[in-house]
A and B are shown apart, each in its own frame.
Chain A
Amino acid sequence: MVAPAFLHALIWIGIPVVAAFVLSFTSYDVLTQPRFIGIQNYLDAFGDPVFRRGMLNTLVYAFFTVPVAMAIALLIALMLDTQLRARALFRTAVFIPQVTATIAVALVWLWIYDPRSGLLNAVLSFFGLPAQNWLSSTTWAMPAVITVGIWQGIGLKMLIYLAALQSLPKDVYEAASVDGASRTRQFFSLTLPLLRPATFFVFVTSVISAFQAFDLIYILTDGGPANTTTMMTYEIYKSAFREFRVGYACAQSIVLFVFLLILTLANRRLNGGDSGRH
């Protein structure tokens, strides 16, 4: 019964992963035969200041987008889990950025961030604050990209939290109320622990998504200025498709894979696994 799924996993996941792993030990430029070079690509990757910068930027991006977006998403989910008027409208509004093509989202934000005619600087100017060069400043480019990442990622996280909140047992809360537990106490002692499986799922998928950030960078900054917003995925793309260093790109991909594996296992251990044991 699982043969189709197995074949699918073999063809679309297994073979490409193995191929990437094998090619990461070769010098391969698409045009000529792969040549075995041992771990040279890995040495190059860790010795490459731009890829190292990409790793750091990816960590910074994930560090800010994942917890911040998760906290905001939980807050919104809690608000939308009440008997609010026009609740469906608010849910849709929060979820829209998630289903909008990232290219379109990025193009809109490109206009918002425009230093001369952008909405953001117009708002700052209205309050008498100085205009900023959001995407061409080494100080502001990364925060600008992170802001878009947080804004876009809230919708899906909110939806998962909302579904989890709606499945929480009501009797536990009734018992807590009878025992005199305040709403705050109920949130920290009941809601958060009961949401742990959902949190684990949201965290893992969010981290993976943050580590795969590519299209925002491609449109908004092209990794610049001066590599301040380049990410691991963007460097992998450039190595493979712009520089023809496919073997090197495979090594960079394996490094990214190991990063994600470590983070997922660490989170799994911290959360007591996806069953929510604690």
Chain B
Amino acid sequence: MELSRRNFLVAMGLGTATVMAGCATTSGSGAPAADASGPAQGDITFLCALFEGATGKETLEGNLLKQFKEKYPDVNVTVDYTDYGSLNEKITTGLASGLMPDVVTLGVGWIPPFAYKNAIAPLPESLATRYTYEERVLEPSRFDGKLYALPMVLDTRIVAYRKDFFEEAGITAPPKDWAELREIAKELTVRDKDGTLQRAGFDPFSIDLRQCWETFLFGNSGELFSADGREVLFDSPEGVAALQLFLDMVADGSADFALTTEAGQPTTLQQGTSAIMMTNNSLYVQLQQQNPELVDKVGTFVLGNTAPAMLQGGTMISQSASSKNPAAARALVEFLGSPDAVLVASEQRGSVPAISDLRDSDYVKGNPMVAFALENLGKARSEGGTPAWMEIREKIKPTLETAVVGQQTAEQAIAQLAGIADDAIARL
């Protein structure tokens, strides 16, 4: 066979026909909810962004899944481990290839996009009342009035500060609003005689800028989207002011965009290069492991301007709408959403257990930051809220950064972001 131009064109034509046929027959939209009424049996896959590392694998497969197997001997679970950076890609490729895992871990804000496209199956409402949940905790698990996921662990974004630096400066209480934050941050900023920053008063940039800005947006009584997820609300004066606060603090020298915590390294608070920082509740475990001498020197508070707010991230467990063994998948979702599994997963990551009853557990009592987060869950707010979230969330950080580095004003950046979000919602 000769590779001629004609052969090539024929091949291209065949390829086009194949793709066009694929376009005509591809399904996915409008898939019915999986019927989980039969006996739990068969092989299922679990795409897992929790239980990292060898310890995590032993915890999941050596402990939890053994218990599951005892309860459901006819179900075989294959675990596909991943991390949050790759979770979205794994799901995308799984969906594209028709190999969507039967059970998946999803992040907060991910339920509306996947539920809207019928990629995940609704769960019975009874699972929402099986254990005690704060309503705020269940909010991200719902779409269109239906429950689509069970929360496992929560990762709240809180403000942490160095008590010793506060005491040295004679500051007796953490800031109550943004004006106090700016004042205290300026007071605690230290520079050497050359003007080089030695300690920033405030480090907002060690967590994702998107999540940091959202925390301040909510703390300023702002909203991301309307209740139906079809209208952008963050382009309000509250949203602009939240971004402007970071710009002002960079301008007055009490925050530095270049000062961040590298993955796996001690935080700026631990290194003493910041006095106050945005962080999450897993900081306590990090302190215990890396700087036990600082455990008593680090305090936490929930900050707001007009309304105290902390951001609630986390990991939820959901069932694929296309599972061939829906009863088995449902059984695993129910099992992983139970207190035993939730507690073990939380302990492994230093996270906040999603079930309120677990606040009396030894783990919560022994971790002040987790206990603090649980006490303040009433002030927790979540990101997302629109089926277009997966597209919008990727654009938030780089767009906000353009303002932080001075390429445009806070108002312009927020307006640009709102335009992107409007377009994404219009494409639904």
Check if A and B associate: yes
Are B15 and A133 closer than 8 Å at their CB atoms? no
Residue B307 at the chain A interface, CB threshold 8 Å: no
Chain A residue at minimal CB-CB distance from B119:
A31
Chain A residue at minimal CB-CB distance from B400:
A226
Residue B2 at the chain A interface, CB threshold 8 Å: yes
Q: Majority SS of interface residues in chain B?
A: helix
Chain A residue at minimal CB-CB distance from B116:
A31
Residue A18 at the chain B interface, CB threshold 8 Å: yes
Cβ contacts under 8 Å, B407 to chain A: 138, 226
Residue B237 at the chain A interface, CB threshold 8 Å: no
Residue B292 at the chain A interface, CB threshold 8 Å: no
* Interface bits A209-253 vs B (CB < 8 Å: 1, else 0): 000000000000001111100100000001011111110000000
Chain B residue at minimal CB-CB distance from A47:
B423
CA A133 to CA B1, docked complex, whole Å: 58
Are B390 and A31 closer than 8 Å at their CB atoms? no
Residue A83 at the chain B interface, CB threshold 8 Å: no
Cβ contacts under 8 Å, A21 to chain B: 16
* Interface bits A240-271 vs B (CB < 8 Å: 1, else 0): 11111110000000000000000000000000
Are A242 and B89 closer than 8 Å at their CB atoms? yes
- Which residues of chain A from 106 to 138 have any CB-CB distance to chain B below 8 Å in the complex? 114-116, 131, 133, 136-138
A2-B3, A10-B11, A138-B405 known; A31 vs B391 contact (CB < 8 Å): no
Cβ contacts under 8 Å, A224 to chain B: 397-398, 401
Question: Which of A21, A131, A238, A244 gathers most chain B CB within 10 Å?
Answer: A244
Chain B residue at minimal CB-CB distance from A35:
B23
Question: Which of B114, B273, B391 gathers most chain A CB within 10 Å?
Answer: B391
Are B427 and A27 closer than 8 Å at their CB atoms? yes
Cβ contacts under 8 Å, B11 to chain A: 6, 9-10, 14
CB distance from B276 to the nearest CB of A (A): 19
CB distance from A8 to the nearest CB of B (A): 11
Are B15 and A226 closer than 8 Å at their CB atoms? no
CB distance from A151 to the nearest CB of B (A): 22
Residue A97 at the chain B interface, CB threshold 8 Å: no
CA A78 to CA B397, docked complex, whole Å: 47
CB distance from A110 to the nearest CB of B (A): 8
Are A225 and B15 closer than 8 Å at their CB atoms? no
Are A6 and B7 closer than 8 Å at their CB atoms? yes
| B390 contact from A6, A18, A23, A243, Cβ within 8 A | A243
Chain B residue at minimal CB-CB distance from A137:
B258
Which residues of A does B touch, CB under 8 Å? 1-3, 5-6, 9-10, 14-15, 17-19, 21-23, 26-27, 29-34, 49-50, 114-116, 131, 133, 136-138, 223-227, 230, 238, 240-246
Given contacts A15-B14, A131-B196, A230-B398, 17 further A-B contacts (CB under 8 A): A1-B1, A9-B3, A17-B12, A26-B23, A31-B95, A33-B23, A114-B262, A136-B257, A138-B407, A225-B257, A226-B401, A241-B88, A241-B93, A242-B89, A243-B391, A244-B113, A245-B391
Residue contacts A-B, CB under 8 angstroms, 28 given? A2-B2, A15-B18, A18-B18, A23-B19, A26-B23, A32-B29, A33-B23, A33-B26, A33-B29, A49-B416, A50-B395, A114-B262, A116-B273, A136-B257, A223-B398, A224-B398, A225-B405, A226-B401, A226-B402, A226-B404, A226-B405, A230-B398, A238-B394, A240-B92, A241-B92, A242-B88, A243-B390, A243-B394
Cβ-closest 10 pairs across A and B: A18-B15, A133-B258, A31-B117, A226-B401, A32-B29, A15-B15, A243-B391, A241-B89, A226-B402, A3-B1
Which residues of B does A touch, CB under 8 Å? 1-3, 7-8, 11-12, 14-16, 18-20, 22-23, 26-29, 88-89, 92-93, 95-96, 113-114, 117-119, 196, 257-258, 260, 262, 273, 390-391, 394-395, 397-398, 401-402, 404-405, 407, 416, 427
